[in-house]
Chains A and B, each alone.
Chain A
Amino acid sequence: MTPHSDGGSVRTLPYVDHFGLTSPDLRRLLGLALASGGDFAEVFCEYRTSAFILMEEDLIKETAETISLGLGVRVLKGEMTGYGYANDLSRPSLEAAARTAAAIASGRGRARPRPIKGRGRPLRLYPVRVPAHKATLDKKIALVQEAYASAQAHDPAVVRVRVALGDGVQYVCVVNAEGHWARDVRPLVKMSCSVIAERNGRKESGYHGGGGRVGLEYFEEDLAPRAIGREAAAEAVRLLDAREAPAGEMPVVLAPGHAGVLIHEAVGHLLEADFHRRRTSVFWNKMGAKVGADSVTIIDDPTIPRFRGSYNIDDEGTVPRPTLLVENGRAVGRLQDILSARVFKSAPTGHGRREDYSFWPIPRMSNIYIAAGRQSPEEIIGSVGKGLYAEQFQGGQVEDSGKFTFSVSSGYLIEGGRLTAPVKQATLIGTNIDILNKIAMVGNDLRFGLQTGTCSKDGQDVPVTDGCPTLKISEMTVGGRT
């Protein structure tokens, strides 16, 4: 088990090459991990390369290249997790990681790791044609410059533009003591543009971006860098004329797309199964029960091709499947990882994710959305006498009690069924079951938000997306100013 040992051995699993580990090595590590009586053991190997380009003040200011390599060993004993990891791949370090994980159990190990076999038919969700990690830096710099120039040219009020392009490839390989072996090679690309516009002493900012598990063809076929720059600039300039958002309870219409962050916060997190086995989520005792309006159906789908939140296997090696969480207002599903699936005696749904090898996997969302309904967006806006149309979002947060917030960076007042004055910066707050019951109309225009989102839980960040059609919430607290 020395690093960089002679590769190409027939016993070496593909993608474990960077570790110089053979199948017998991995079985030996798993055997060590189970030596104190653990129920389950797993080795997660990760090698990740990433590149980054930053442009601001008309200059390509910096480029960066990063390599991350490490291996984590996990042992389960009942609901207990032992975890050790190492990025120094010497034999003593790897064995120490396995022994650390083993120590969660105390006793004599009986289980022996099974022979390692592949599992299932792999998904192929990332049909990349022009891999970003193989493209020349010149080509990527040209994309950054295109977004930058377009933002700058959009309006004389634009005073600052910042464009970042990051791309990376994550090679993961998961082997467990039940003999399952799975691997994935996950590309990830993200371009983001932030703009500051200034007029008559007033400053505002705008943001736009895109990407996903795609190659550079994305910037030709899906979203051109110049569109990213233009949209970011347009938001900043529009906000220069925006007034303060109103404060108090009022009807709120959510624009299609990134308002899915509401579903992410209000529903998704609270259907993550770890919060159910601990009985801390407000939903833990409501499976099968009505938790929202009839028109509300919510799905988390890790299998949407090319999306940022998608993966061919999760970080426990499970092939994921679309998971129905809420059906016609009834809570029907949870996001399960291996541990919670064992506790609930159900199948993992393929939602065990981790930020990198230094973390153990926990149940996470991937791409969550609320299914399209029947009403047209015009009908929905037209039904509101006085309220808020929330268009762009910064993100949100929820606690297990179901209280959640999300931040609107820009929107419009609705007056007499029409969008009128632009408004800026407001926080919306509510309690999830209350708000789910107040979803009065669901549009027919399902869209997904920007392919730039990241979700944080227990200190771990993973890429996600969320989506929704135009939604009307009959009443919600809007935190503007009076």
Chain B
Amino acid sequence: MTAARSRDDLRATAERLVKLGRARGADEVEVQIGRGFEFHVDVRLGAVENLVEAGSRSVGFRVIKDGRTASAGSSDLAWPVLERLMTNAVARAGLAHPDPCAGLPPHSPFSVDIPGLALFDPEVPRLASRTKIALALKTERIALADKRITNSHGAGFSSHHGEVLLANSNGFLGSYQQSYCSLGLGLQAGDTDDLAEDGWSTSRRHFRDLESPEDVARRAVERTVRQIHPRKIATRNVPVIFEPDMTGWLLGFLFGCVAGTAVYQRASFLADRMGDAIAAPGVTVIDDGLMPGMPGTRPFDAEGVPCRRTVVVEAGVLKTFLTNAYAGRKLGTASTGNGDGGGVGPNNFYLVPGTVPPADIVRSVDEGLLLVRTLGHGLNPVTGDISRGAFGLWIEGGAPAYPVAEITIAGNLGELLRRIEIVGNDLDFRSAVSGPTIKVAEMTVAGR
């Protein structure tokens, strides 16, 4: 079956389901079909450990009848199964409660230039398995040549390409193809009773944008060996520098607090803070679904709302909550194009970089923590409280002095945002939620 033929089949299935739902009595119907192909190889100590290839597809839909919602999903696309699920869903909707905010978003003319978003790299499906295996093997081999590395968690290469198709009873019909690939490596240094562990990975939509095996190996080795023989420090309040991946982690937590679903449920400490200065003036946070080639880019969201650029925090002031159609109605606004899997999700959600190189940020700290990894949970969006296990480098006199471990960091996201003193210039969209290096004036670092 050709790709085009099979795409027509998916579209026909989606349109047929929409029609069936309406015929069964639903006021509104929305159908999403995904189809993809994945490849994954793990290599370890020079040999292939796991090799996976598979294609899969799934359908998800929801129906709304008299303001009552029901949804369903299936990985079995046989028509009798879908027919039964649709009939059940319409019947089940009758048992939910009517909700004036329920319903599909209004139809909006769709004018996004999909090819211009560069979501799909035709090279990804064409990559030969042996090329991908060779990249993983090479990455690990380079790292293991460093005598300070004592064991490997293995290197891996993954690729995924597929198609998303969405149709609804308001007349929306859209689809796009996308691809991803990634190359990563995990390492151990030190002996069994004094292990340091870390790694590095690169993930992009386009194969040519991946970091080279040499670069991935070098970063993984550097990150691992710098943590050998950590010390434990005494509990104190100090400035903390977040490396970009740690800023990304913090932004992920911020996203959970500006997501309209958390806001209307009053499950966010920012729920009543619209228009307030919630962060330092140097902090601007943006959600942008239209940046060509970026990991969180898409032409339309899971409800068919065109994606856009939304300023969430501007110079420290909270400007917008991110919504799907439902959360938007709850908050009295239109959807920001953040509908995702029945809830709200980020597009490219990032902290706008400043001008200071990361090395200068480290130099600005007389005594403090360079945070490189965290471990565990300990995030509470209701209060903004943060408490996590941490690994880092202790900074003395403007330079990293020694690694520290078995410490925790604690603070509150609200306080942290206000205490961001410096925003670095090193933003790199390693994932859909990203930020540059930042310096927070003070946090509690607990140790001895």
Contacts and interface: CB of A to CB of B under 8 A. Distances in A.
B377 A61 contact: no
Contacts of B89: 65
Contacts of B202: none
A427 B406 contact: no
A397 B389 contact: yes
A403 B389 contact: yes
Counting chain A residues whose Cβ lies within 8 A of the other chain, the interface size class is 35 or more
A85 interface: yes
B292 interface: no
B95 A63 contact: yes
A160 B376 contact: no
B408 A479 contact: yes
A300 B282 CA distance: 51
A122 interface: no
A240 B348 CA distance: 36
| Majority secondary structure of chain B interface residues (helix, strand, loop or mixed) | strand
A248 B267 contact: no
Contacts of A83: 50-52, 54
Contacts of B409: 479
A399 B197 contact: yes
A247 B410 contact: yes
Contacts of A480: 387, 410, 444, 446
Interface in B83-100: 85, 88-89, 92-93, 95-97, 99
B408 A427 contact: yes
**Which of A162, A396, A403, A481 has the most C-beta atoms of chain B within 10 angstroms of its own C-beta?**
A481
A128 interface: no
A160 B408 contact: no
A433 B194 CA distance: 12
Contacts of A279: 151, 192
A282 B195 contact: yes
B74 A401 contact: no
Interface in A332-364: 358, 360
A68 B376 contact: no
A280 B153 contact: yes
Interface string B81-117: 1000100110011011101001000000000000000
A427 B266 CA distance: 25
Given A100-B53, A396-B377, A477-B406, A280 B151 contact: yes
A62 B58 contact: no
A400 B197 contact: yes
B444 A481 contact: yes
Interface in B28-69: 44, 47-58, 69
B382 interface: yes
B54 A284 contact: no
A480 B237 CA distance: 12
Contacts of A481: 410-411, 444
Interface in B255-278: 265-267, 269
B388 A479 contact: yes
Contacts of A81: 49-51
Interface string A284-300: 11000000000000000
Interface residues of B, number: 75
Interface in A146-197: 159-160, 162, 196
Given A84-B54, A482-B235, A429 B410 contact: no
Contacts of B69: 61-62
A477 B377 contact: no
Nearest to B385: A425
Contact of A396 (B49, B56, B75, B376): B376
Interface string A62-95: 1111111110000000011111111110000100
A59 B97 contact: yes
A64 B71 CA distance: 5
A62 B376 CA distance: 31
A427 B389 contact: yes
Interface string B407-446: 1111100000000000000000000000000000000101
B130 to A, nearest CB: 11
Given A62-B342, A479-B409, A482-B444, 9 more contacts: A60-B97, A61-B99, A80-B47, A87-B57, A87-B76, A100-B51, A400-B195, A431-B406, A477-B232
Interface of B: 44, 47-58, 69-78, 80-81, 85, 88-89, 92-93, 95-97, 99, 102, 151, 153, 188, 192-193, 195-197, 232, 235-237, 265-267, 269, 342, 375-378, 380, 382-383, 385, 387-389, 391, 405-411, 444, 446-448
14 contacts: A67-B73, A80-B49, A81-B50, A82-B51, A86-B54, A100-B52, A196-B266, A249-B448, A284-B192, A358-B56, A399-B375, A409-B380, A478-B408, A479-B387
Instruction: List 4 A-B pairs, minimum CB-CB distance, nearest first.
Output: A479-B408, A405-B389, A405-B376, A401-B195
